Amino acid sequence: MKLQEFTLERIQSLFENEVELNLSDSGVHPYKLSELLSEAQIKTMVDLELGYGWTNGQTELRQTIANLYQHRTPDNIMVTNGSAEANFIMVMSLLNPGDELIVVVPNYMQIAGWAKALDVKVLEVPLLQDNGWLPDLEQLDALVTDKTKMLTICHPNNPTGSTLPIAQIERLVAFAKRHDIYLHADEVYKGAEFDGVELPSFADLYDKAIVTCGLSKAMAMPGLRLGWLVGPTAEIYATWQSKDYTSITTGTVSEYVANIVLQPQFRQDVLQRSKSFLIENLAILQAWVDENSQWVSFIPPKAGGMAFIKYELDVNSTELAMEFQKALSVFLLPGDVYGMDGYFRVGIGAPAEHLRVGLQRIGEYVRGKYL
């Protein structure tokens, strides 16, 4: 097995902690535990025994997560160390050499990377900027074969922040049903829709859907490293077999906090905080794009913690990001990591003043050097 470099994660690991203003993150500025827990809950947490728990997730927590979906039980849930582990054990459990995987791109390419390492053939369907970052679903029928095992989508999308209209969601589900394939959806940004209307989960629309989710993005708690899979009982059991070979179990403290914040009203309060934060910052970004329209443009995101900016400069996106990092101590994510030079991703979940100052530095730098 040979893994290709996961460029998105590598470049963030190298530079996001080395700058004054990190605008590369795709989540929302994280909570502190003191903002989430009452004094009584903190005391309970401090008194927890730090032993091993259930290797597939504490039973009460799996029920709490199951309650977020229709007609699901704890047997349909696998609790993981972040959504990254959820993606990993799903690939290792459900895909085999010779299978084919259709990926809607751009995307968080962890799943595609693992699939290629397993000698799974990866085929791509692009989101089209001219179509509002929506896919041409007619392309799916040209790609599917008798070896197609799964279709995977990030929804809401990373990095564009686009969301599919209900009609396209239904078409994707119909396509998967017609060909009897798995439909995987990374839903870590679900709940951060700016219009306030939470999209349906693919897990509620198709019995062979596999959903990845967690507390890292829309929920603004990446440090808890708490994620999950939702899917059919047999497939979830298969991922349990894989998890026994990876992390064994998730953390006792993380599971305790997760079971609190995923209660319905608490979850809605967290998501409202995220949406308020992101909508304010999107306005800051929109004003900056308007001011710098001679070299940047974008389709405003509809959900999630980022925007995908197209630029009109004669310089590679990674080179441009490194210039900003070295000259300005500001870090953006280059479009290269998605195979899309000519773009960069801006995190709009950063503190508003960080975003405002970082963008101001970038605008002044570009006008002084390139324009």
- Residue pLDDT, tens place only, 105-131: 999 889 999 999 999 999 999 999 999
- Tell me what the mean pLDDT of segment 340-354 comes to: 95
Contact 57, 255 (CB under 8 A): yes
At 7, the pLDDT band (50, 70, 90 cuts) reads low
Instruction: Give the residue among 362, 271, 282, 276 at the shortest CA–CA distance from 325.
Output: 362
pLDDT at position 6: 64
At 350, the pLDDT band (50, 70, 90 cuts) reads confident
- Residue pLDDT, tens place only, 38-60: 999 999 999 999 999 899 999 99
The two domains 7-32+267-365 and 51-263 share their CATH topology (first three levels equal)? no
pLDDT at position 352: 95
What is this structure's pTM?
0.95
At 15, the pLDDT band (50, 70, 90 cuts) reads low
pLDDT at position 130: 93
Q: Which of 8-17, 116-125, 300-309 has the lowest mean pLDDT?
A: 8-17
pLDDT of 4 higher than 80 = no
Q: How far apart are CA 22 and CA 16, in angstroms?
A: 6
Burial class of 144 by CB neighbour count within 10 A (0 to 12, 13 to 18, 19+): middle
Domains of the chain: which residue ranges? Answer: 7-32+267-365, 51-263
The two structure tokens encoding residue 305 = 């913690």
CATH class of the domain defined by 7-32+267-365: alpha beta
CATH class of the domain defined by 51-263: alpha beta
175: helix, strand or coil? helix
47-84 burial, b at 16+ Cβ within 10 Å, e below that, comes to eeeeeebbebbbeebbebbbebbeebebebbbbbbbbb
Instruction: Give the residue among 172, 222, 160, 180 at the shortest CA–CA distance from 201.
Output: 172
